[in-house]
Chain A
Amino acid sequence: MIAIVDYGVGNLFSLASSVKSLGAEVRVTHQAEDLRQATHILLPGVGAFADAAAKLQATGLVPVLREETQHTPLLGICLGMQLLFEKSYEYGEHQGLGLVPGQVCPLADDLKDPTLKVPHIGWNALDLTPAGEKDPLFKYIQNGEYVYYVHSYYAKNCASNTLATSEYSIPVTGAVRAGLVYGTQFHPEKSGDTGLRILRAFAEL
């Protein structure tokens, strides 16, 4: 069973539907017991970092996630990926889960081309790193396939954990991994067939 962590941020309909379309059993849950039973865990998220981090803490599930990710693969998506990092500088400075080394910073401050728009919205090509080329998460993906992004902040100082980036005048962190903890800044559940193949590979980990 694949558990989708429901901590009251965002709309989980598409994510649950996309995983169901692969034939997997899905449970949208805020129960620790479900996370313990799950074969895989998805951590979604949209909105602001501080609000989402507080809501996730309030569920009491953070210690369970720490424990389970020792032996169960987890995939954080979009803000769910950002929560995996040590810190975010979105409106202040906020603590993340610290499962992946690095920080989440405003994209606007670092773009080399000031005419580019923030949020970074739309389809962008994945550039797999050497680690990404070999990673089972991308076993059904060709380098250069397009995925869908919507975000204004991005993860940095995480090169040794990066599996993929996308070019937006700078290489924007697209996917990361630390042990069994994975994260994608893009939305696999909104990235058409490419996204479904990434989710399928995750479900097979």
Chain B
Amino acid sequence: MVTKRIIPCLDVKNGRVVKGVNFEGLKDMADPVEMARYYNTAGADELVFYDITASVEGRTLFTDILRKVASEIFIPLTVGGGINTLEDFDRVLKCGADKVSVNSGAIKNPAIISAAAQRYGNQCVVLSADIKRVDGSFRLFAKGGRENTGIDALDWLEQGVRSGAGELVVNSIDTDGVKNGFDLELLDAVAQRCAVPIIASGGAGCREDFLELFRNHPAVDAGLAASIFHTKQVDIRELKQYLRQNGIEMRL
């Protein structure tokens, strides 16, 4: 059977990996190519790169990094950040990305999802959403989690899947950076409405959080995290061995 996936996420700004807590207070961590090599040997099932650079120079630097990573690391690469048009899809796919993650770009222009799915296939289009509870319901946030769109997040994701998104990254703002576990209530709610693979993001603090996620929420396919892997607070190989010992199918 298909394994659950463990996915480290690298937020890249000006050629360096950074990761914030609750999306603020970025702290320089390391060189993205070095980190990608490390994660490849450590047993990561996939890598996600988010380009959080705003400048043109930063963007060029990012595509150079991506090309370097893709030319020596042969596991699936997902790339997001600043994806607004089909040209943006094209740019990162040509540098070796396998999947492209859209977030704010799809909020500004929802038609990008179906256009990209038609051109590159559903499997290539990952819809990523930053979600927070507002007055007891799940709301979709834009601009890296800073702006409430007022859109119901579950409706948004369901519509995204109908338009051709082949995978979802569900990022809970409420649990992000808190390291107290994934947002299981949110993930269950998404799984009820969407039949494509779901990648849980935000809140993992220890290996038990991943076990709880996969053991009791089988509709979730993958767990994504950043700083706990970057700081080696959780070692990926040890995590995967632990999960397998506890009956979760893992690639070792």
Contacts and interface: CB of A to CB of B under 8 A. Distances in A.
15 contacts: A11-B97, A13-B94, A13-B95, A14-B98, A17-B70, A17-B71, A17-B96, A46-B120, A117-B197, A121-B197, A121-B221, A122-B197, A146-B251, A168-B1, A190-B75
Interface residues of A, number: 32
A146 B3 contact: yes
Given A13-B94, A121-B123, A190-B98, A168 B74 contact: no
A148 B76 contact: yes
Interface stretch (A27-35, A57-65, A156-164, A191-199): A191-199
Contacts of A190: 74-76, 98
Interface string B55-94: 0000000000001001110111000000000000000011
B126 to A, nearest CB: 10
- For the residues of A in contact with B, the DSSP-based class is mixed
Contacts of A21: 71-72, 74
A189 interface: yes
A148 B75 contact: yes
Interface of A: 11, 13-14, 17-18, 20-21, 46-48, 117, 119-125, 146, 148-152, 167-168, 189-192, 195-196
B121 interface: yes
Which of B5, B67, B251 has the most chain A CB within a 10 Å cutoff? Answer: B251
A148 B251 CA distance: 10
Nearest to B195: A117
Nearest to B95: A13
B166 interface: yes
Contacts of B196: 117, 119
B74 A14 contact: yes
A97 to B, nearest CB: 21
A17 B72 contact: yes
A16 to B, nearest CB: 9
A147 to B, nearest CB: 9
Contacts, number: 88
A124 B74 contact: no
Q: Which 7 pairs show the lowest CB-CB distances between chains A and B?
A: A146-B251, A17-B71, A122-B2, A13-B96, A123-B251, A150-B123, A123-B3
A186 to B, nearest CB: 11
Given A47-B121, A117-B221, A123-B251, 18 more contacts: A11-B97, A14-B70, A17-B74, A46-B120, A47-B120, A48-B121, A117-B196, A119-B166, A121-B221, A122-B5, A122-B221, A125-B1, A146-B251, A152-B122, A167-B1, A168-B2, A189-B74, A192-B74
Given A146-B251, A192-B40, A11 B94 contact: yes
Nearest to B122: A119
Contacts of A196: 74
Interface residues of B, number: 32
Contacts of B167: 121
Nearest to B166: A119
Nearest to B218: A115
Contacts of A125: 1
A128 to B, nearest CB: 17
A119 B123 contact: yes
A195 B74 contact: yes
From B71, B72, B121, B196, name the one whose CB has the most chain A CB atoms within 10 angstroms: B121
Contacts of A11: 93-94, 96-98
A88 B220 CA distance: 31
B96 A120 contact: no
Nearest to A190: B76
A17 B69 CA distance: 10
Contacts of B98: 11, 14, 190
A167 to B, nearest CB: 6
Contacts of B94: 11, 13
A195 B251 CA distance: 13
Nearest to B96: A13
